C-alpha cells in the first residue's frame, strides 16, 4: 500500500523515535547485514519481509519491542489518529537507504563556560533538524555545552527512478543535499537559529565499505555567517552497500561540474539583471529610490534572487483553505534578525523555509514568502509585494488577483485581508473616491516563483496603484525564461530544497488542561498574596469554551458566529442581582507565567483577578488550537460573577 509523502514521512519519524528509545539500531543493522550476506550466497533469492521478520524473531528483537509497547501504552486518552504501536519497520530490501548518524558535537565555543546542568534543572538545549528529499527528522533536545551530546541516527530513503533501487550512477546525479538546521532553545522557550548547513552526502559513494565518517563544520548565521559555530561528527552508511563503488575523482568531478553549471547560470542572470535595471532607470530617474528588490541574502549570507524564496507549497490535509493558511502563518512569531551593535539599521536576512519553520519565528519577508507559497498551492494568483507601511517602514505583504480583476492584500503577520480599490487621480474633484483600507503606503515591486515586476507608474503610492501586470507601461517585467534558469527546482544546486509541512505532535486537549490548571494556581496564589479567598465556578469556566472557539473561528474565516448562544448561556449561569465580567486574550505561546504577567498589565483583567465583593466566583478557561509545525493559537478567558451591592 502506497502512502502520501507526508504520511510516509510521519511513519518514518515514528519508527525512528521508537528505535532510538529502544536503543536497538545496532541490533537491527546487524540482523539486516547478516540476512543479506546469507542471501548473496549460491542460492540467491529476494529477501522478503517475512524472512526479515523471522530473523528478528529468532534474535528476540520483536519480543523486546512488543514487551516495551505493552508497558508503555498507558495513555488514558489515546489519539485515534496516531498509531500506538507497530509490528515491523517496513524496510523494503529493494530500496536504497542512507543511514546518517550524528556521533557528537565539538568546539561550540560560545558555550565553553556553560555549567553542567543538575538533574531536573531546566537548561538551554540544542535540537538538530534534517530535511532530505521530502523527508524531515528532528533529534532529541540535548543540553547546550562546548561538546553537546548530539548522538542520533536518521534513516533516509533514497528514491530511485520508477521505484527501482538507486544505483551508484543514479545517486551521483542526485544534487539534493541533506539540509541540517541547528536550533538553540533557552530556558524561556525562546528559539534561536545557530546554523544552517547543506551537506553533500555523495562522498559515501566512494567508500568500499559503504560507510564514511567525517567532521562537519557548522558556520553561524546572519552577520556571523563567516564565523564557525561548532563541529558535528557525522557518519554516513549506505544500505544495502554498493556492489561497485565510484572513485573519488569521479565524485569530485561531478561536484565540480555541478558548481560550475550553477555559477554560470547565476553569472548570466546577474548580467541580465544589471541590464534590466539600467533599462528600468532610463524610464524615469526617480526609479532609483523605489523599493525594487531583485536579490536578498539568506541566513548564510548568500545572495539569491527573491523569486527563489517562493515555491508552490501544498499542505496536504494539514491546512484546508487559504484563510486557514493565512492564520497558520500569522501564528509564527515575528522577530527581526538580530543585530550586533547599534545604529538602528535593519539586518538583511531572508531565511530558507526549513530554517524559518524550525525556528518558529522570522521577519515579515519570511512570513510573506511562506504565505505566498501556500496561496499558490491553493491555486490562487499570489505575489509578494515589497514596499513600505504608513510610517515609511520597509515591509512585505502578499497580494492575490481574482479572475474578475479584484485585488486583495494579505497581511502575513496578522492574517488580515484588505480589498484594494485604486483612487482615480483623473476623476473630477467632487467624485466619490474609495478610502484606503490597508496600512500600506508604497509598493516598489511584486514577485512570485516565476514572475518579477517592478512598478513603473508615475507614483508608487499603493492607493493610486493599478495592479494590471499585463500593462507594460505600468509594470516592467523580467524575462520568465531568465528567472526560470535560476529559480526553477532542479535548475541550480544552490537552491535549498522545499521541505513539506509537518503535522502537529501536540495534543490540544492535554495542553489546554495543563495550561488552565497552571493558570488557576497562579490566580489563587496571586489572590492569596492580596488576602483574598478564591472560589472557582467550574460550570462558568466550561461555558467560556464556546466563546474561545468562536474567537478562533473568526480569526480563521473572518466570520463571527456563536456569540448569541454564549450570551444566553452566561445569562442563565449568572443569577439575578449578580454582575458578570469577562476578559479574553490571545497568545502564541503556552508559558503560563509569561501569559499571566501580560494579562495583569491589562486593567480589565486586573479588575477581574482582584475582584472583591459578596459571593465572588471566578472562572478561567484555556484553549490551545494546534496547527502544522506545532504552531499554537492560545486563547485565555478570565471571568468573574459577584453580587452587586449598591
The residue behind cell 488552565 is: 516
CATH number, position 631? 3.40.33.10
For residue 456 the three cell numbers come to 513603473
333-334 and 361-362 strand pairing = parallel
CB-based contacts of 61, cutoff 8 Å, min separation 6: 24, 27, 28, 31
Domain count, the chain: 4
CB-based contacts of 458, cutoff 8 Å, min separation 6: 284
Element of type H or E holding 14? helix 5-22
Residue 54 clears pLDDT 90, i.e. is over it = no
Which one of 487, 517, 538 terminates a domain? 487
Q: Contact at 8 Å (CB) between 345 and 339? A: yes
Q: CA 617 to CA 631: how far, in whole Å?
A: 33
Is residue 75 assigned to a domain?
no
Is residue 13 assigned to a domain?
yes
On whether both 266 and 232 belong to a single domain, the answer is: no
On whether both 304 and 434 belong to a single domain, the answer is: yes
On whether both 367 and 436 belong to a single domain, the answer is: yes
Which one of 487, 516, 545 terminates a domain? 487
On whether both 238 and 261 belong to a single domain, the answer is: no
Question: How much of the chain, in percent, has pLDDT values that exceed 90?
Answer: 64
Which pLDDT does position 474 carry in this prediction? 93
Is residue 78 assigned to a domain?
no
Owning domain of residue 436: 257-487
Q: Contact at 8 Å (CB) between 126 and 148? A: yes
List the Cα angle 225/230/233 in 5-degree steps. Answer: 130
pLDDT category at 100 given cuts 50, 70, 90 is very high
Rounded to 5 degrees, φ, ψ at 582 are -135, 150
* 34-38, 68-72, 396-400, range with greatest mean pLDDT: 396-400
Q: CA 325 to CA 379: how far, in whole Å?
A: 13
On whether both 459 and 556 belong to a single domain, the answer is: no
Which pLDDT does position 81 carry in this prediction? 32
Residue 40 clears pLDDT 60, i.e. is over it = no
Task: Tell me the per-residue pLDDT of 77-99, one tens digit each, with 9 for 90 and over.
Answer: 333 333 322 233 457 777 899 99
Residue 69 clears pLDDT 60, i.e. is over it = no
Q: Contact at 8 Å (CB) between 152 and 127? A: no
Which pLDDT does position 5 carry in this prediction? 53
Is residue 80 assigned to a domain?
no
Pairwise pLDDT comparison (395 vs 15), residue with the higher score = 395
Rounded to 5 degrees, φ, ψ at 239 are -135, 125
For residue 10 the three cell numbers come to 510521519
For residue 416 the three cell numbers come to 488580515
Q: CA 637 to CA 603: how far, in whole Å?
A: 14
191-199 and 135-138 strand pairing = unpaired
Q: Contact at 8 Å (CB) between 266 and 494? A: yes
Which pLDDT does position 598 carry in this prediction? 94
pLDDT category at 210 given cuts 50, 70, 90 is confident
On whether both 230 and 294 belong to a single domain, the answer is: no
Task: Tell me the per-residue pLDDT of 403-431, one tens digit each, with 9 for 90 and over.
Answer: 998 999 999 999 999 999 877 766 667 66
Q: Report the chain's mean pLDDT, rounded to a whole number.
A: 86
For residue 388 the three cell numbers come to 513600505
Element of type H or E holding 33? helix 25-39
Percentages (nearest 5) of helix, strand, coil residues in the chain: 35, 25, 40
Least confident among 243-247, 263-267, 328-332, 545-549: 243-247
**Whole-prediction pTM:** 0.82
Beta pairing partners, 394: 388
Which pLDDT does position 605 carry in this prediction? 94
pLDDT category at 72 given cuts 50, 70, 90 is very low
Which pLDDT does position 492 carry in this prediction? 73
Residue 75 clears pLDDT 60, i.e. is over it = no
On whether both 552 and 474 belong to a single domain, the answer is: no
Which pLDDT does position 80 carry in this prediction? 33
On whether both 436 and 315 belong to a single domain, the answer is: yes
Which pLDDT does position 83 carry in this prediction? 31
Q: CA 69 to CA 63: how far, in whole Å?
A: 10
Q: Contact at 8 Å (CB) between 541 and 621? A: yes
- Averaged pLDDT, 331-337: 90
Is residue 313 assigned to a domain?
yes
Which one of 204, 221, 246 terminates a domain? 246
CATH number, position 267? 3.10.620
Is residue 501 assigned to a domain?
no
On whether both 10 and 132 belong to a single domain, the answer is: no
On whether both 238 and 356 belong to a single domain, the answer is: no
b (16+ CB within 10 A) / e for 24-63? bbebbeebbeebeeebeeeeeeebeeeebeebbeebebbe
- Averaged pLDDT, 309-313: 95
- How many other C-beta atoms can be found within 10 angstroms of the C-beta atom of residue 16? 19
Residue 576 clears pLDDT 70, i.e. is over it = yes
Pairwise pLDDT comparison (12 vs 570), residue with the higher score = 570
How many contiguous H segments (helices) and E segments (strands) does the chain have? 15, 23
Write the DSSP string, 150-177.
Answer: -EEEEEEEE--GGGPPP-HHHHHT--PP
The residue behind cell 543535499 is: 177
Which pLDDT does position 88 carry in this prediction? 38
Is residue 167 assigned to a domain?
yes
Task: Tell me the per-residue pLDDT of 456-507, one tens digit each, with 9 for 90 and over.
Answer: 998 899 999 999 999 999 999 999 999 999 988 777 777 888 899 999 999 9
178-185 and 191-199 strand pairing = antiparallel
| Residue 311 DSSP symbol | -
CB-based contacts of 448, cutoff 8 Å, min separation 6: 307, 310, 372, 376, 382, 383, 384
For residue 38 the three cell numbers come to 546469507
Which pLDDT does position 161 carry in this prediction? 72
pLDDT category at 188 given cuts 50, 70, 90 is confident
Give the SS3 label for residue 358.
Answer: helix
On whether both 128 and 178 belong to a single domain, the answer is: yes
On whether both 161 and 262 belong to a single domain, the answer is: no
Which pLDDT does position 344 carry in this prediction? 52
Rounded to 5 degrees, φ, ψ at 507 are -90, 105
Is residue 83 assigned to a domain?
no
Write the DSSP string, 465-514.
Answer: ----TT-TTTEEEPPHHHHHHHHSTTS-TTSPPPPPPPPP---HHHHHHH
The total number of residues written for the chain in this structure: 646
CATH number, position 174? 2.60.40.150
Which pLDDT does position 581 carry in this prediction? 94
Amino acid at each position: 500500500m502506497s502512502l502520501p509523502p507526508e504520511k510516509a514521512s510521519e511513519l518514518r519519524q515514528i519508527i525512528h523515535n521508537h528505535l532510538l528509545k529502544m536503543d536497538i539500531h545496532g541490533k537491527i543493522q546487524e540482523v539486516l547485514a547478516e540476512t543479506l550476506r546469507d542471501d548473496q550466497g549460491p542460492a540467491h533469492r529476494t529477501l522478503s519481509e517475512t524472512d526479515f521478520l523471522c530473523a528478528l524473531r529468532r534474535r528476540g528483537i520483536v519480543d523486546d519491542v512488543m514487551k516495551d509497547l505493552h508497558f508503555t501504552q498507558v495513555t488514558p486518552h489515546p489519539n485515534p489518529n496516531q498509531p500506538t504501536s507497530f509490528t515491523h519497520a517496513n524496510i523494503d530490501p529493494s530500496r536504497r537507504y542512507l543511514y546518517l548518524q550524528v556521533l557528537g558535537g565539538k568546539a561550540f565555543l560560545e558555550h565553553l563556560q556553560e555549567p553542567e546542568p543538575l538533574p531536573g534543572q531546566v537548561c538551554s538545549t540544542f535540537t538538530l533538524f534534517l530535511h532530505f528529499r521530502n523527508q524531515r527528522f528532528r533529534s532529541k533536545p540535548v543540553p547546550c555545552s562546548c561538546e553537546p551530546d548530539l548522538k542520533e541516527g536518521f534513516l533516509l530513503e533514497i528514491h530511485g527512478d520508477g521505484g527501482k533501487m538507486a544505483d551508484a550512477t543514479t545517486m551521483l546525479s542526485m544534487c539534493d543535499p541533506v539540509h541540517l538546521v541547528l536550533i538553540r532553545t533557552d530556558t524561556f522557550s525562546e528559539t534561536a537559529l545557530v546554523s544552517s548547513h547543506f551537506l553533500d552526502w555523495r562522498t559515501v559513494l566512494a567508500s568500499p565499505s559503504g560507510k564514511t565518517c567525517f567532521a562537519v563544520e557548522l558556520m553561524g548565521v546572519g552577520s556571523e555567517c563567516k564565523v564557525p559555530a561548532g563541529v558535528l561528527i557525522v557518519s554516513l552508511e549506505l544500505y544495502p552497500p554498493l556492489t561497485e563503488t565510484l572513485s573519488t575523482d569521479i565524485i569530485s568531478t561531478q561536484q565540480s561540474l555541478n558548481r560550475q553549471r550553477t555559477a554560470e547560470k547565476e553569472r548570466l542572470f546577474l548580467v541580465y539583471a544589471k541590464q534590466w535595471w539600467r533599462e528600468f532607470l532610463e524610464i524615469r530617474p526617480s526609479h532609483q529610490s523605489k523599493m525594487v528588490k531583485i536579490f536578498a541574502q539568506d541566513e548564510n549570507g548568500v545572495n539569491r534572487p527573491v523569486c527563489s524564496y517562493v515555491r508552490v507549497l501544498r499542505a496536504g490535509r494539514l491546512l484546508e483553505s487559504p484563510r486557514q493558511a493565512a492564520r497558520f502563518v500569522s501564528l509564527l512569531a515575528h522577530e527581526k534578525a538580530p543585530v550586533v551593535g547599534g545604529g538602528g539599521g535593519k539586518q538583511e536576512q531572508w531565511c530558507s523555509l526549513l530554517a524559518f519553520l524550525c525556528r518558529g519565528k522570522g521577519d515579515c519577508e519570511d512570513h510573506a514568502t511562506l504565505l505566498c507559497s501556500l496561496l499558490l498551492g491553493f491555486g490562487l494568483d499570489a505575489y509578494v509585494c515589497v514596499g513600505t507601511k504608513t510610517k515609511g517602514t520597509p515591509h512585505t505583504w502578499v497580494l492575490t488577483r481574482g479572475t474578475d480583476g479584484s485585488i486583495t492584500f494579505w497581511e502575513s503577520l496578522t492574517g488580515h485581508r484588505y480589498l484594494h480599490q485604486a483612487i482615480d487621480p483623473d476623476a473630477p474633484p467632487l467624485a466619490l473616491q474609495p478610502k484606503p483600507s490597508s496600512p500600506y503606503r508604497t509598493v516598489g515591486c511584486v514577485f512570485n516563483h516565476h514572475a518579477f515586476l517592478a512598478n513603473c507608474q508615475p507614483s508608487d503610492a499603493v492607493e493610486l496603484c493599478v495592479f494590471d501586470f499585463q500593462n507594460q507601461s505600468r509594470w516592467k517585467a523580467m524575462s520568465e525564461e531568465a528567472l526560470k534558469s535560476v529559480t526553477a527546482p532542479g535548475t541550480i544546486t544552490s537552491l535549498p530544497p522545499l521541505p513539506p509541512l509537518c503535522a502537529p505532535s501536540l495534543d490540544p486537549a492535554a495542553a489546554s488542561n495543563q495550561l488552565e490548571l497552571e493558570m488557576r494556581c497562579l490566580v489563587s496564589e496571586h489572590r492569596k498574596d492580596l488576602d483574598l479567598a478564591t472560589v472557582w465556578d467550574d460550570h462558568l469556566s466550561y461555558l467560556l469554551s464556546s466563546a474561545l472557539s468562536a474567537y478562533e473561528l473568526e480569526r480563521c474565516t473572518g466570520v463571527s458566529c456563536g456569540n448569541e448562544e454564549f450570551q444566553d448561556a452566561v445569562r442563565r449561569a449568572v443569577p439575578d442581582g449578580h454582575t458578570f465580567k469577562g476578559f479574553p486574550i490571545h497568545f502564541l505561546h503556552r508559558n503560563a507565567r509569561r501569559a499571566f504577567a501580560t494579562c495583569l498589565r491589562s486593567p480589565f483583567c486586573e479588575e477581574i483577578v482582584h475582584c472583591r465583593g459578596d459571593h465572588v466566583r471566578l472562572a478561567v478557561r484555556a484553549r490551545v488550537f494546534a496547527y502544522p509545525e506545532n504552531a499554537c493559537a492560545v486563547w485565555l478567558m478570565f471571568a468573574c460573577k459577584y453580587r452587586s451591592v449598591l
